[in-house]
Amino acid sequence: MVAVRIIPCLDVRDGRVVKGVRFRNHRDMGDIVERAQAYRDQSADELVFYDITASPQARSVDVEWIERVAAEIDIPFSVAGGITSVESARRVLHAGADKISVNTPALRRPGLVAELADAFGSQCVVVGIDSIRDQHAFRLRANTGDPDNMIDPELDTRSWIEQVQQLGAGEIVLNCMDADGVRTGYDIDQLQQMRALADVPMIASGGAGAPEHFLDVFEQADVDGALAATVFHSSQILIPELKTWLRQQGISTRN
Amino acid sequence: MSVAVIDSGGANLGSVVQALNRIGVDSHLTREPEAIQRASHVILPGVGAAAAAMAALRQAGLIDVLKNLQQPVLGICLGLQLLFERSQEGDVDCLGIIPGTVARLPETAGLRLPHMGWNQLEWQMDDPLAAGLDPKAWFYFVHTFVAPPGQAVATSVHGQAFAAVVRQDNFAACQFHPEKSAGPGQRLLQNFLSY
């Protein structure tokens, strides 16, 4: 049986790993390759790199650090941020990324998802979704890497999840913005509802603060992976211990 | 040792070259028939669709070259599927080195497609590729189409059993990505290169 995936997320700015709280006040967390290697050695199942400056600044992702990561790291990784076309995606994949993740550019032009799936296959195409609670609905936010210039695309999260699957998305990373950075647990209710709409793998993002939060999201929301940043970067949660503990609770994890 | 990695036009062929670099083995990405025939070991990787990959191999004049290779050959992911007679992905004839047809994993309730993530193997018979591997080791898979498990050296399960490792004489292949499977993947590549 396929194992659930524990996925450290590394926000990248100017070639360094950074982390903010609720997407603001970014702190330097170290060199990309050193961080990636450390997570690989700790049995992280996959890595996600978000180039948080690429989308807001309307520039394409820098591939130099992707090549450095690909040369060193023998687990899969995806790259998000600044992928706006088949050409920019090709540069990222040729630099060694296993998957490309699109968020704001897909909202601006949904056909991009279909173009990427046609060019590289759905298995390479991840759609990242930033979702925020709006009374009883869930709404999207775009350009979330730059809080001062965030955009409300006036779209419902549910309809977008259905649309991107039809367009050929191979995986969805659902970042629940209300929970992000505050470490009080994943947004189980939202993830449960959105999981039910998805046939492709879905990765939970936003809110991890304790090992119990991972257990809850796997047991209750049935997601395929859980993404977290701060708790791993700070070593508050050690991935080998987390995976062993999850296994003791009956969750299939890779050792 | 000279290792040829066949350039079948996929998106991420460089990963195999980099994995070989990490174990200190030089390799070259090529679609030149003579370079492939001269190599001591040949790797057929592939990400993408079967029809596109077969078209690329045909255009490069590699179909008969591949079928007639006598040295050890390792197919990876799509490279495993191409060794079979036919793939339902694009309904295309493949290399026909191993009997059988590649088919899509059936859509069943709750089953996530693509099969994306780390999974374990059930070794069905002994094989040089398995030397020194923990039988419970995990490998990284990304695929939606599968080869039949009947004659497989190792199988894995995602909704149903499918071929995870196959062998026909000097041709071996794995559905997972050894180049992305951390320590066990590295060991499997070393095993391939050591015979």
What domains, with CATH codes, occur in chain B? Answer: 3-193 (3.40.50.880)
| Res A108: pLDDT | 93
Distance (Å, whole) CA B51 – CA B74: 20
Contact A69, A96 (CB under 8 A): yes
Q: What is the pLDDT of residues A178-209, one digit of tens each?
A: 988 788 999 999 999 999 999 999 999 999 99
pLDDT digits (tens, 9 = 90+) for B42-69: 999 977 789 989 999 999 999 999 999 9
**What single DSSP character describes residue A60?**
P
Domain of residue A36 covers 5-248
B161 touches chain A (CB under 8 A): no
Contact yes or no for A74 and B11 at CB 8 A: no
Which among B11, B112, B118 is the nearest to A201, CB-wise?
B112
pLDDT value at position A59? Answer: 63
In a domain, A255, yes or no: no
Does a structural domain hold residue A253? no
Note the pLDDT of residue A62: 79
Domain CATH code at residue A87:
3.20.20.70
For residue B12, name the pLDDT band (cuts at 50, 70, 90). Answer: low
What does the pLDDT look like over A21-44, one tens digit per residue? 555 667 787 889 999 999 999 999
Distances in Å between the alpha carbon of A210 and those of A31, A204, A214, A245? 25, 14, 7, 12
The residue to which tokens 């050409």 are assigned: A87
Contact B114 A122 (CB under 8 A): yes
User: How many structural domains are present in chain A?
Assistant: 1
Pairing outcome for strands B171-174 and B73-76? parallel
Q: What is the DSSP string of B8-44?
A: -S-S-THHHHHHHHHTT--EEEE--HHHHHH-SEEEE
Residue in chain B nearest A75 by alpha carbon:
B180
Q: How far is B22 from chain A (nearest CA, A)?
A: 7
Give the ipTM of the model, two decimals please. 0.93
**Each residue of B166-189: pLDDT tens digit?**
999 999 999 999 999 999 999 999
With CA atoms as reference, the chain A residue closest to B117 would be: A2
Q: What is the pLDDT of residues B84-142, one digit of tens each?
A: 999 999 999 999 999 999 999 998 888 999 999 999 999 999 999 999 999 999 999 99
CA B173 remoteness from chain centre: 4
B179 touches chain A (CB under 8 A): yes
Q: Please give the pLDDT value at position B88.
A: 95
Asked if residue A230 is part of any domain, the answer here is yes
Closest partner residue to B185 (CB to CB) among A1, A2, A74 is A74
Give the E-state strand segments of A42-192 in sequence order. Answer: 47-51, 77-80, 99-102, 125-134, 137-141, 171-176
Residues with pLDDT less than 70, chain A: 20-25, 54-60
Residue A68 lies in a domain: yes
pLDDT of residue A54: 63
What distance in Å separates the CA atoms of residue B166 and residue B147, rounded to the nearest whole number? 9
Task: Point out the residue among A2, A40, A43 whose CB comes nearest to the CB of B115.
Answer: A2
Instruction: Note whether residue A254 is domain-resident.
Output: no
DSSP H helical segments within A48-142, as ranges? Answer: 64-72, 86-94, 104-108, 111-120
